[in-house]
Each structure stands twice: as structure tokens, then as C-alpha cells.
Amino acid sequence: MSMAPEYFDDGSSFFAVDPLSINPATLADFSLFERYPAQNGVFRFRCLLTDTDAVAVDRLKEMLGSWDTIYIHNTEAQDYKSYIKENLGFILNNDAISTSKKTSILVNLSTDAIKETFAAPFVPQAKISETVEHLEKFVSKALDFLSGIESLKGIATMIGHDYDTHTHSVKVGWLCAVFIKANSDLFGNPGREQLKQLLLQATVAGCLHDLGKVKIPENVINKPGRLDNLEYVLMQSHPAFAMALLFEKKLPNDTLQAILYHHENEDGSGYPCGLAGDEIPLPAKICHIADVFDALTSARPYKKGKTPAEALKIMAGKNPYLDTLKIFEAEVTKNARPPVTAIVRDEQDPKLRRLKEQQMIEEEAAKRVDARVKLRDQGMSHCFDSDLLKRFIVTLSKSDSFDLSGLL
């Protein structure tokens, strides 16, 4: 569809774009518009540019720098999105673009890429390989930005937002990249190319660590409240589901291990395999820390997101009720009934009596679920490698976007 030289529209047919996100050397075949103030609820959109071949690159660069905001018609949205994917490196390395705008572009594109990957199990298996390959290419283009300490400002702007599996996965991959880049000595100070591969594998693992959740029923994934014990056991299967989906996709072992073991705890109380200490691969330990940090700082329907300092205090705190917590966790693993016997004596009808007794047992089970969650938030140091967690806190503290005073 060719664009007209001007449109009169309520604004819903156009979307705003930062002119600095346009690479003058590779401008694609879509039209750029300026918008005039509304009159009676209608804007005038005038085409600024259609034939890019008719404008020299230097002149085009000058023009883009002189515009505050430009607009693109919705019919060319897919062309623009494809263009941004191809020019992501230019955008993320452009110092004239603010970190917040870079973050917005990066999150939108990466979330789309992850959604595509998460949707893959519902199409032929060959599609999974294709979408994972697309994700790897996307991450590779964004790696320099993702792994830089300065990019933590972008993560900080997303702290406290509502939890969403796709955005959460983006942040976990991003945090893994920043941490590994700042602590490459943990991997023997690898060379430039080796470090790039390490960062790529870890970031992809972070982006895919929750892929197995596509096999969990939607009513469990989207439950507005806390999961009961049976739902919690079901949710614990997601690392194994992810491994099953990705096993034949020729991903590096470090990536697969990080995905499979990202819920293993340092003291052996995690899942799915109950690994402990040095049995847990280093990338998986890093992914675990990033995963829990973002989960604690994200808002849920039943709780507010914690501040980074609050989350890290919980993660680094020694749990005074650890023995009780482990009893509750064991109940979950065994899917055991709560240790309570309900006896209803004031009801003559046997059916109603049994119904009331079952209701009392279910209420007790719900109380124990609530208690388990509260006990866990008393301290989680048993879950993490203490040296890695200290390094994680130090890494975040290098960005002035996080107030971690008193933690170091």
C-alpha cells in the first residue's frame, strides 16, 4: 500500500518513533510523517519523507536530528519492526539515544522474540529450532548493550512492574549478561571471543529458563493468588519440560544446564534433581540468583514488588525457621495432606459433615501454603552460593540506579 502525502486522522492510525532510532545509512522503504496539533480531535499528518534514495546520507542525518518525533502509519508497522531488528546494533550503540528509549526498544523487540519462542511448542517441532535461532541472533546483536554496567539503568526502570513471564525472562537474561561480563574471572578470564560466546549462552539461557511453563495449564500460570501444594508441584516440572522441548535443538551444554538447574538450591533443597554446592553448574547458579531477584521485585496480584534492597536482604538473610520451612517444602514434594484431622460433631447429615470436614482440611492446607511463603521470605541464603550473591550485590551497586546502601 502506497502512502498518501497527508492524512487527517484522530491519531489511532499512526505510532510515534524517535527519529534517532532511524539509521540514515540504511533507511528502509517506509514513509515518515510529522503531526500537526489537533483541531476538533483530528490531527493532520504530513509526509516528510518517501523517497530515501533522493536524499544524501549526510542531509538525511541532519534532517533526522532536527525532528523531535516522527510518525509511521500502522500499515507499515511490520516493515518498521523488521527494520529495527536489522538495525538494533546501531540503536543500542547510539550515544544520542537515551538509555530509557533504548530499553523500551530492546524490551519490546526481545519480548516479541521470546513470545515467538514460547509459542513454538504449539507448532511443528522444527519451528522451535527456527525461533531459538532467531532469539540467538537477536541477543547477539544486543549483547554489547545487554552486558554493560550502564545498561542496569534500563533494568532499574522495570523494577516493580507487574510480573509477566516474557518480560521477566528478558530481565533474567539481561542480569545474567551484566553479571558475567563484570565477573568474568569466575570463568578464568576468557578471551574476547570466548567471553562473547559465554555471554550469548548465558543470556539465551536466561531468556529461555521458563520455556517449560508453556506446558503448565494456563489456570495455574495465570492464577491471581498463591499456588496450592498440588499447583506448586506442577509448576516445579517446568525446568524438565523446558529441557524436553530444547534437548534436540543443539544448544550448548551450559545453556541447557542453566535452564534445567536454575531452581537448584545450594543446600540441596531445590528441584528438579536436588543438587547441592559444586554439583550445580555455575551458569545455573547465576541464573537462579537473577531469577529470584527479579521475581521478588516484580508485583503480583497478591503482593507488591519489593525494592531491590528488600529483595537482596531476603536473599542474603539466614532463615531462622529453616527447619520448619523444609518440613513444609517436603509436604509439597510429597503432595501430602496437612497433618490435621477435622471432626465435625454438630452436623447430623453425614454428607454435610464430610463436606465441612473437607473444607476445614482445605482451609488448613491454604494456611500452610501462606505460612510456607512467609517463612521463605524470612531468609533465602541457603538457596544461593554466598560468594556469587555477594558479587551480584556488588555488581548492581556499580549502577547508581540501585540504592543498596547498607547491604555491602
Q: Indicate the burial class of 272 (C-beta count within 10 angstroms; 0-12, 13-18, 19 or more).
A: middle
- Across the chain, mean pLDDT equals 87
User: What is the DSSP annotation of 365-380?
Assistant: HHHHHHHHHHHHTT--
Beta bridge partners of 228: none
Cβ contact 30:76 at 8 Å:
yes
**Predicted local confidence at residue 405, as pLDDT:** 73
Going by pLDDT thresholds of 50, 70 and 90, the confidence category of residue 72 is very high
pLDDT of residue 131: 81
d(CA 395, CA 5): 51
**pLDDT at residue 40, rounded to an integer:** 93
> If we measure between CA atoms, which residue out of 81, 73, 86 comes closest to residue 1?
73
Alpha-helix runs per DSSP H in 159-228: 165-182, 192-208, 218-221
* CB neighbour burial string for 349-382, b if at least 16 within 10 angstroms, e if fewer: eeeebeebeeebeeeebeebbeebbebbbebbbb
CB 398 within 8 A of CB 183: no
Cβ atoms within 10 Å, residue 281? 19
Burial-class residue 44 by CB neighbours within 10 Å (0-12, 13-18, 19+): middle
Quote the percentage of the chain above a pLDDT of 70: 90
The C-alpha atoms of residue 164 and residue 298 are separated, in whole angstroms, by 9
pLDDT for the residue numbered 13: 95
pLDDT in tens, 333-387: 776 566 656 565 666 677 776 776 666 666 777 777 788 888 888 999 999 999 9
Coil/strand/helix, residue 17: strand
Buried b (16+ CB within 10 A) or exposed e, 164-189: ebbbbbbbbbbbbbbbbbbebeeeee
> Which cell is 202 given?
548465558
Residue 292, pLDDT above cutoff 70: yes
Q: Is the dihedral of CA 280, 282, 284, 286 positive or negative?
A: positive
Q: What is the pLDDT of residues 179-207, one digit of tens each?
A: 999 999 999 999 999 999 999 999 999 99
Predicted local confidence at residue 84, as pLDDT: 87
Name the residue among 11, 4, 16 with its Cα closest to residue 70: 16
pLDDT the model gives residue 35 = 95
CA distance 30 to 110: 22
Q: Give the tens place of pLDDT for each residue, 94-142.
A: 888 888 888 888 888 888 888 878 877 676 677 778 888 888 988 998 9
Residue 265's pLDDT band (cuts 50, 70, 90): very high
With 60 as the cut, is the pLDDT of residue 320 above it?
yes
Q: What is the pLDDT of residue 53?
A: 66
Residue 391: CB atoms within 10 Å: 18
d(CA 230, CA 219): 13
Whole-angstrom Cα distance, residue 71 to residue 245? 40
Is residue 60 predicted with pLDDT exceeding 60?
A: yes
Q: Which of 14-18, 46-50, 251-255, 292-296 has the lowest mean pLDDT?
A: 46-50
- Cβ distance 30 to 72 under 8 Å? yes
- For residues 327 and 318, which has the higher predicted lDDT (pLDDT)? 318
Q: Rounded mean pLDDT of 309-315? A: 95
- The verdict on pTM exceeding 0.95 is no
Residue 340: the pLDDT is 57
Query: Which residues have C-beta within 8 Å of that of residue 134, sequence separation ≥ 6?
Result: 113, 116, 117
Sheet of 70-73: strands edge to edge?
A: 6-9, 42-49, 32-39, 70-73, 14-17
pLDDT of residue 65: 84
Q: Is 78 exposed, middle or buried (0-12, 13-18, 19+ CB in 10 A)?
A: exposed
% of the chain with per-residue pLDDT over 90: 47
